[in-house]
Each structure stands twice: as C-alpha cells, then as structure tokens.
C-alpha cells in the first residue's frame, strides 16, 4: 500500500526515539539512566488528584465543548491575570490534548504553503516538524553558548522577508534553558511593530521552572497582544505529563480558527483532566514552587558535574530542567572502535557505553550540542554523570 507523502515531510521526534532506545536496552537487563525525556519525576499534587476523583464520582464523563469547559477557560484567564497580569476572556482560550496539540492548532491555523516561520535555535524538536506539516518554510536564526542561546532584535529583523508569517520561540527554552528578560522582549517587540503581519507564537510551558526571577511574556505589550499566541499547559509546572492538557490564549479570531481545526481532529480534551486542571490553575502553587526548588538544587549539582567533563562548554540554564553543552570538542575522537563525527554519534556512544540516554542537538537545530535532563533524582544524576565522564575519557 502506498502511504501519504505527508509522512516524508517530517521526522519522528528524537526525544521519543532516544527514550525508546533506552527502554529497549533496559528490557535486556541493562541499567539505563534516562536523561532524555522532559518529564518531571514528581507525582501530581494531591489536591489536583482529589479534584479528578471528585469529577469521576460526579459523573463528568461525557463529551466536552471543543475549546474546553467554561469554568476551565475562566480558570486559565484567572491564572493569566494572577501570574502574568494579562487580561483575557474565555473566548480567547482553547484547551487541547497537551501543549503539542495547541502548537499544532496554532501553526496549522496561521501557516500556508511557502510561508516562512522564523525560529531561533535551539528549539523544541516539534516546532520545525509542525511547520513542515503545514508546508511552511523554517527560517533558523542560529544562536550559541556565547550569546546565551538568545536571538537579538537585530538578528530577528535581518531574518524577516515579505514571506515571513510567524516568529516562534520558547521562554524558558527547551532545550537551552534560556529565559528572555523584559528588556530583550521589548527589543523584539520594537521589531514586530514594524511588521504588523507577523504573528508571534510564544511557548511558555516552562514558566514556573525559572531560576533567575520573574517570568516575562511578550503578550504583555498591549499593541502586540492580538498577534501573540501564548502556549502553556500543565505538564511541566504541575507534574501532569500524562493528563494531557495544554492551552492557548490568543485573539478571538485565532482562537476560533484553532477551535475549528480541533473540532475535526480530537474535539474537546479529557473531561476529568479538565476538572483537575481547574484545581491546578486556581489552587495552591506551593507544590509547583517546591518542585522548582528541587530543580534548582539539581541544576547546581549538574552544572558542577558537567564542569568536570573536559571539552564540554555549558551555558548555565536560566529555566526549564536541561543542560545543553557544546560537545564539539569530541568530534574526530575515537575509542579505537568508533570515531565520533557529530552529536548523534556522541549521544549514541554515551547510551551504549555509559548507559545514559540523552538527545542529540541536531533534533533541536543545534548540531554542536547534546541535551541532558536533570528531571531525575539526585542519586541518578550523580551516577549518570560519573558514567559519562568515565566513558568520554576513553575517547582520544
């Protein structure tokens, strides 16, 4: 049978691929430490689970409105006002089966064939692939360790052409951990004011995992707000990865377009998750803050361990829970049986020799780097980096 040519336009997510390879080795009895997936190793807070149990007992078991229950969309508005000082109404909110679906909705609603989407590197693996699915063209702005993995206003302006339709970025960034401060966002906003036809997709899913201060959203600039599609969700800040709840906040026009798309793909997201999400968004944030405190400790220890690896150049992440070192010093080195040519080779070498899973930087648009998560226990982090150091010492 001949399958659709659509499948040839995009790749399998490398994050999921590496996790799968790790599981396969684990199934053979090998002790693999997973530093590949972006998943908090915490349980969902009890008050959120209690809300879900209540929803089950109260028989919230039927189809839901495509954009989400009204009380959930109101809860999103409450959260955005409380945390970000942003004013939205329920008609501006669409909830989806994870922030990945929210991103897909936004890109498919905005991008036509041939439209250009500017994305600073490094970026989350799915950004570029969704643009390809929409038949758009990815325009990368290459950043690096030396400029803290952030695109400057001048670089963004230089990348804009008459075909530019969308600028897409994340802050805090997966995989680099870069966080844009208010001054940097103001500089970007000044560029976008000159180009009124460009939409801005701002992925803020790691908002609560911030090590440098207050989270800033580009949606705070009122004259740009209707052009911003704010992406967020519950997976990272509330340890609710398996619950699958993401959302957008956008102009009514864009929200309606996303609702129309979602109505033909999945309709409304899980009813029980929605009721739990109300409790998450409007309830006690102490569990989220306690998670961030623990990530702060793990970040410090991880950076200390990475500094002991000869040749690794590592930016100190300002948010999220990854380090993304430049590993290119190992290119051309060999252990006698394998020569490391690129980040993919090094990532596989570490998996097979140190039994630690990671994700090669090529997947994020940055071929000199490898992403390692510190969303794992302190004991596993220390054991993993000890193994990595020992394995890399064999490369000469």
Here the tokens at position 94 are 């669409």
For residue 223, the tally of other CB atoms under 10 A from its CB is 10
pLDDT score recorded for residue 18:
76
pLDDT score recorded for residue 144:
84
Find residue 248's DSSP bridge partners. 94, 231
Find the helix packing angle between 271-282 and 70-84, rounded to 10°: 30
For strands 33-34 and 356-357, give the pairing.
parallel
3-state secondary structure of 72: helix
Exposed / middle / buried, residue 174 (Cβ in 10 Å: 0-12, 13-18, 19+): buried
pLDDT score recorded for residue 335:
94
Angle at 59 between CA 53 and CA 61, to 5 degrees: 95
The count of C-alpha atoms lying within 13 angstroms of the C-alpha of 226, restricted to the half-sphere facing its C-beta, is 6
Per-residue pLDDT of the chain (396 residues; tens, 9 = 90+): 889 988 888 887 776 777 788 788 888 888 999 999 889 999 999 999 999 999 999 999 999 999 999 999 999 999 999 999 999 999 999 999 999 999 999 999 999 999 999 999 999 999 999 999 999 999 999 998 888 999 999 999 999 999 999 999 999 999 999 999 999 999 999 999 999 999 999 999 999 999 998 999 999 999 999 999 999 999 999 999 999 999 999 999 999 999 999 999 999 999 999 999 999 999 999 999 999 999 999 999 999 999 999 999 998 999 999 999 999 999 999 999 999 999 999 999 999 999 999 999 998 999 999 999 999 999 999 999 999 999 999 999
pLDDT score recorded for residue 9:
85
Here the tokens at position 50 are 């209690």
pLDDT score recorded for residue 147:
84
- Residue 163 CA to residue 169 CA, distance in Å, equals 18
pLDDT score recorded for residue 94:
98
- Residue 39 CA to residue 31 CA, distance in Å, equals 19
Sheet holding 228-233, edge to edge: 93-96, 246-249, 228-233, 199-203, 164-170, 116-120, 137-141
**Interior/surface letters 265-284, b for 16+ CB within 10 angstroms, e for the rest:** eeebbbbbbbbbbbbbbbbe
Here the tokens at position 29 are 């009895």
pLDDT score recorded for residue 334:
96
């Amino acid at each position: 049978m001949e399958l659709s040519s659509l499948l040839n336009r995009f790749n399998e997510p490398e994050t999921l691929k590496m996790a799968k390879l790790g599981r396969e080795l684990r199934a053979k009895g090998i002790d693999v430490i997973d530093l590949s997936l972006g998943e908090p190793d915490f349980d969902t807070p009890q008050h959120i689970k209690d809300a879900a149990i209540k929803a089950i007992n109260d028989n919230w078991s039927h189809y839901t409105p495509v954009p989400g229950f009204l009380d959930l969309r109101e809860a999103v508005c409450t959260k955005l006002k409380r945390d970000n000082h942003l004013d939205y109404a329920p008609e501006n909110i669409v909830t989806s089966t994870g922030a990945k679906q929210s991103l897909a909705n936004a890109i498919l609603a905005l991008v036509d064939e041939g439209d250009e989407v500017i994305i600073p590197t490094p970026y989350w693996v799915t950004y570029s692939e969704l643009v390809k699915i929409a038949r758009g063209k990815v325009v990368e702005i290459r950043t690096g360790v030396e400029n803290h993995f952030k695109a400057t206003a001048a670089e963004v302006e230089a990348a804009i052409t008459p075909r530019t339709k969308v600028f897409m970025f994340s802050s805090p960034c997966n995989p680099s951990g870069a966080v844009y401060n208010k001054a940097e966002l103001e500089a970007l906003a000044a560029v976008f004011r000159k180009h009124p036809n460009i939409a801005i997709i701002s992925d803020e899913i790691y908002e609560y995992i911030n090590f440098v201060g207050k989270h800033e959203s580009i949606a705070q600039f009122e004259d740009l707000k209707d052009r911003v599609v704010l992406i967020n969700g519950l997976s990272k800040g509330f340890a609710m990865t398996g619950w699958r709840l993401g959302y957008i906040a956008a102009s009514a026009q864009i929200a309606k377009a996303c609702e129309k798309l979602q109505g033909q793909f999945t309709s409304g997201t899980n009813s029980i998750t929605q009721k739990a999400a109300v409790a998450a968004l409007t309830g006690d944030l102490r569990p989220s803050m306690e998670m961030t405190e623990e990530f702060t400790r793990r970040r410090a220890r991880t950076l200390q361990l990475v500094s002991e690896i000869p040749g690794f150049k590592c930016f100190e992440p300002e948010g999220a829970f990854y380090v993304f070192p430049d590993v290119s010093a190992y290119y051309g080195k060999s252990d006698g049986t394998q020569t490391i040519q690129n980040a993919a080779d090094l990532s596989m070498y570490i998996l097979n020799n140190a039994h630690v899973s990671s994700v090669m930087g090529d997947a994020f648009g940055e071929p000199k780097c490898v992403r390692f998560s510190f969303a794992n226990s302190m004991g596993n982090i220390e054991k993993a980096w000890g193994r990595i150091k020992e394995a890399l010492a064999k490369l000469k």
